[in-house]
Structure 1
């Protein structure tokens, strides 16, 4: 009896060793790598906000796949996300999310960061933290080239004008600074806003300087109206800048991203933005 039990145990051990050996080999017979998988960095953006981010049909110029889609994302924000991932050996995943849903998605842990040309405001700081700035600009207005406001030099000159911008944006918050402005309901995005200006539905819109340059490059019948200091909008540096939004208290990720951003000089950022603006789909 003892011999039979001993033989049974030997057989069990031999079978176990065979299966253990198989588990350590791939289908090709080569050993399976024991290296840990790369960290995935999930980034949310609109993918419709050139030159910061947009949607295209292929991976040209270094565009990356949009998750759960056959399309690709590219733009200045995508390049910033790629550099953060390259510096840390992370895998980048881009998720296309409507503007109003970005912070909700971040705080629901559906994404790890928002890189979407987002300005830093006191209201947003209540629900998210931000990295250092990765882009800064001025605040301007856009009008039609034949508009009576095209030669305006101050906000005073826009008295009574019909003005709007993107809903829930920094720009929308600036409109009440225009004397006796006829503020119109906020619109969904830049494309819709520019159509409204071109059609005469509104007289002007407020945009960041970079976005405005992008808009007139694609629409030569539009013009930028900028202001001298003291004659334009009153805003903070954060409102005119863009940073990566992170969940509250995610200080480790914040420090990691800031380290990467610190290694990108202002000259390099300007050159990259100039290149990206020329590549945007609307400019073709």
Structure 2
């Protein structure tokens, strides 16, 4: 009986030690996006939708498997200044805010506009880049402004600010049919396959596609409120918002942000 009791106590002790060791092994790292306010944490998980060059994309032509781009460089630059390593997690755009809310990621950089609707669910940094929405269409069937979308089907990315603008256009212009896709390349392919007539895409991203594909062209929507800004999204009440804002301000003042803009956007203009 004594031997059995000693073995049981020893087994329990070993099991407890194993559990504690397993728990301790994860300290100082982000386990898929745990609380971003952990003082010991040295890794931040950045959520993005890597289909939005030059903001974020995967250069499959070069055989790359990791996301690169302006947003990725910006996040890593600020993270380094704050003492964090930034890891990038690619997902569909519509899942980014839910991922923040469920602590699967610590921040989101995805060319995201800080709308009032989004601000109800997450906090945003200051705007780091200004952009404008454009209509992309085929050169052999050009659409030059929002009015020419009458009776047409226009594609937008799911849960994007462009989707909101398309809905507003549909209220103002008769017969506009709005359809959504999860990824920008899907919109381009749908257009080239004549399943949609046009797509509304942010200007810098649109320029990248038009420059690479001479069958495409882009035009201004002609609407006064089509200019949008991009900001970094964080979980509600995260201390990272102020930390990132502080470093973002410094980068704007010392020219670091301008250098990143030139690096990623200069060949798009």
**TM > 0.5 fold call:** yes
Q: C-alpha displacement at 1:156, in angstroms?
A: 2.0
Aligned residue for 2:151?
160
Matched, 1:55 2:58: yes
Deviations along 1:252-272, one digit per CA (max 9) or x if unpaired, are: 211110111112238654553
CA contact (8 A) 2:94 2:182 kept: no
Q: What's the RMSD between the two structures over aligned residues?
A: 2.7
Deviations along 1:6-26, one digit per CA (max 9) or x if unpaired, are: xxxxxxxxxxxxxxxxxxxxx
Matched, 1:244 2:206: no
Distance 1:270 1:220 in 2: 29
Aligned residue for 1:196?
190
Match of 1:170 among 119, 141, 161: 161
Q: C-alpha displacement at 1:225, in angstroms?
A: 0.4
Matched, 1:42 2:31: no
Q: C-alpha displacement at 1:224, in angstroms?
A: 1.0
Q: Secondary structure at the match of 1:117?
A: coil
CA contact (8 A) 2:46 2:89 kept: yes
Deviations along 1:101-157, one digit per CA (max 9) or x if unpaired, are: 2112211112110111111111111110100011111111101111142xx2x4223
TM-score in terms of structure 1 length? 0.71
Matched, 1:83 2:71: no
Q: C-alpha displacement at 1:79, in angstroms?
A: 0.7
Q: C-alpha displacement at 1:174, in angstroms?
A: 1.1
**Greater C-alpha radius of gyration:** 1
Distance 1:38 1:128 in 2: 21
Gaps of 5+ in 1: 1-35, 64-70
CA contact (8 A) 1:144 1:197 kept: yes
Distance 2:214 2:155 in 1: 20
Q: Secondary structure at the match of 2:179?
A: coil
Aligned residue for 2:67?
73
Q: C-alpha displacement at 1:184, in angstroms?
A: 3.5
CA contact (8 A) 1:174 1:233 kept: no
CA contact (8 A) 2:190 2:196 kept: yes
* Shift in alpha-carbon separation, 1:78–1:173, aligned structure 2, 3 A: same
Aligned residue for 1:130?
124
Aligned residue for 1:66?
none
Q: C-alpha displacement at 1:77, in angstroms?
A: 0.8
Q: Secondary structure at the match of 2:134?
A: strand
CA contact (8 A) 1:139 1:208 kept: yes
